[in-house]
Chain A
Amino acid sequence: MSNVLAVMPEIVVTVVATLVLLVDTMLPRRAERGWLALLTVAGLLVALVSGPFVTVPGTAFNGFVQIDTFTTFSRVVFIVLAIFAVLVAPGYLARHDIPAGEYYAIVLFSTVGAMTIALSNDLITLFLGIELMSIPVYALAGMQRHDRYSNEAALKYFLLGAFSSSLLLYGFAWLYGVTGTTEFGPIAAAVARTGLADGPTLIALALVTAGLSFKAAVVPFHQWTPDAYDGAPTPATAFMSVAPKAAAFAAILRLMVGGLGPLGTDWGIAFAVLAAVTMTLGNVVALAQTNVKRMLAYSSVAHTGYILAAVAAYRAGDSAGAAVLFYVIAYGLMNLGAFACLLYFDIEGTRGATLMELNGFARQEPLGALTFAIFLISLTGIPPTVGFVAKVFVIQPVLDAGLTWLAVIIALNAVLAAFYYLRVVVHLYMHETDERSAPIISERMLNVSLGVSALAVVVLGVLPDGLYAWALQAAAPLVLR
């Protein structure tokens, strides 16, 4: 029974997903489905509240599952991201004739997968979580079935995602072969004894790093990202760009820092180089984009680099883990918001607005433009927004770990990124509406949810201490001592 209680939030989300599907089939074909979003959000809130009440810290299911402060923290992150992703979607889904019930259920199933990653204490649970998180997202990318770009996005995402999963699984097999166990604790003990002395451990480490890098979209494993983000329906992109990335970093923290922590000197330098390459390439390519959705796709690659830099600084201790978690939340809020702001523009198909189509938006929709600008300023990393604080928290452990060169690259990249983010703000505010501007849609649910998350971006930028203290607590159990 205590096993069941340990995974109560996951069970609640699964039940809600099934319930949403069932209710959806009972509604008449043409019925209004906007309130299904509210049902979904209510279910997610129940899961959020149920967590602290019923779960006790410790392991469950014979060591397959681990409930600790990291699990609790990650659950909250994934549930909050799912709530925002669901709240911004209804209008778009109705306009583009996407089955709403299926959309919400798929988001929920993916959230269960992400939560499973956060509670994994074993390679098998981890892989189960990664697959449960990824497979629904492939379907999400292809929800706009009659759009060619959506099909392309789903196919590319699926093929490369399946490829990366197999790499990861092969790496797990090698890891099991080397250590003789699938549990993280004993794996850490085994690799601490042997180090990288033998070839098989190196192969396992390389395969696992490549597999997880695919999932998090680290350069050079990022090629699927722009097409998948660009082609997917916009609310799906908003969800895809944050939740799977947060989950991938949860997996990296659990497996690399937790299970393979003793090999940190080996993967740490690899991650530092990958982080530098990732943020630089993401930013440089984003400079050249005229389609805002594609630009944000490349910018999300760049942000992966910043988060990875904090992982590479694992030597700095808990502050590195806390920086990863804090950045993941900051990135989740501002990136989901920025993609969701593209929902204001009514454009055929799944392609996002081009810069010209944004012209004069501030005149027609002052509040919408303000939230969009706040998200972009936060993505740039300008105070008083959460994006700025998150970058500070990342640079600190990077310096503490002695990676001064990486800190310099982060700072230079922030300057580079300012150009293309602020160019969007210029088009929003300093251009008159002309014949190229896209028609605008205003919905109350979209306005309110974007307003709340923009407010959160500013408030967390001014008062980050509470959240950071919580992130520090959550990072503490990661390093197996």
Chain B
Amino acid sequence: MPDYNLSYFYVFAFFVAAAIFITLLLGLARLIAPRKVTVEKARTYESGEEPVGQAWSRYPTHFYVFALLFVVFDVEVIFLFPWAVLFRTLGWYGLVEMVIFIAILVVGLYYAWRKKALNWY
């Protein structure tokens, strides 16, 4: 068997081992653990908090714009980390590239701000 096929076999073996392990533990627990059902245990929050209303509640779609902007700047940070690690190696070239990258994102933020996407109603 070639090397890369062998490594897939390890992944497969891992899955099988995991499945057997979990079945064994859960089955064992079911066999030997004592079961005493009380009202308190059956509640949604055992800590005593009472749930109010349905889980399917409506909330402002406005959050979606914030979520979208958040994702953009979240991804920006992911790009900043490798640059920060190699800051000295990349030197001025890296710095200029990063400034251009951030400038493009800042234009996006400016646009969102001018279009009143950041206002709450």
Contact residues of A with B, CB < 8 Å? 18, 21-22, 25-26
Contact = CB atoms under 8 A, between A and B. Distances in A.
Interface string B16-40: 0000000000000000000000000
Nearest to B115: A25
A25 B114 contact: yes
Contacts of B115: 25
Nearest to A99: B115
B110 A25 contact: yes
Nearest to A22: B107
B104 interface: yes
B110 A22 contact: yes
Nearest to A101: B111
Interface in B69-121: 104, 107, 110-111, 114-115
Nearest to B107: A18
A190 to B, nearest CB: 16
A18 B110 contact: no
A254 B107 CA distance: 33
Contacts of B110: 22, 25
A120 to B, nearest CB: 20
Nearest to B111: A21
A308 to B, nearest CB: 35
B81 to A, nearest CB: 20
Interface size class, chain B: under 10
A25 B118 CA distance: 14
A18 B107 CA distance: 8
A263 B108 CA distance: 44
Contacts of B104: 18
Contacts of A22: 107, 110-111
Given A22-B110, A25-B111, A26-B114, 9 more contacts: A18-B104, A18-B107, A21-B107, A21-B111, A22-B107, A22-B111, A25-B110, A25-B114, A25-B115
Nearest to B4: A177
A369 to B, nearest CB: 40
B98 to A, nearest CB: 15
Contacts of B114: 25-26
Contacts of A18: 104, 107
Contacts of A21: 107, 111
A18 B104 CA distance: 8
CB-CB nearest 5 A-B residue pairs: A25-B114, A18-B107, A21-B111, A25-B111, A22-B107
A415 to B, nearest CB: 50
12 contacts: A18-B104, A18-B107, A21-B107, A21-B111, A22-B107, A22-B110, A22-B111, A25-B110, A25-B111, A25-B114, A25-B115, A26-B114
B72 to A, nearest CB: 13
Nearest to A25: B114
Nearest to B113: A25
Nearest to A21: B111
Nearest to A14: B104
B114 to A, nearest CB: 4
Contacts of A25: 110-111, 114-115
A22 B115 CA distance: 11
A458 B110 CA distance: 46
Contacts of A26: 114
Contacts of B111: 21-22, 25
A21 B112 CA distance: 11
A429 B104 CA distance: 51
A26 B114 CA distance: 8
B112 to A, nearest CB: 10
B63 to A, nearest CB: 18
A19 to B, nearest CB: 9
Interface string B33-57: 0000000000000000000000000
A100 to B, nearest CB: 13
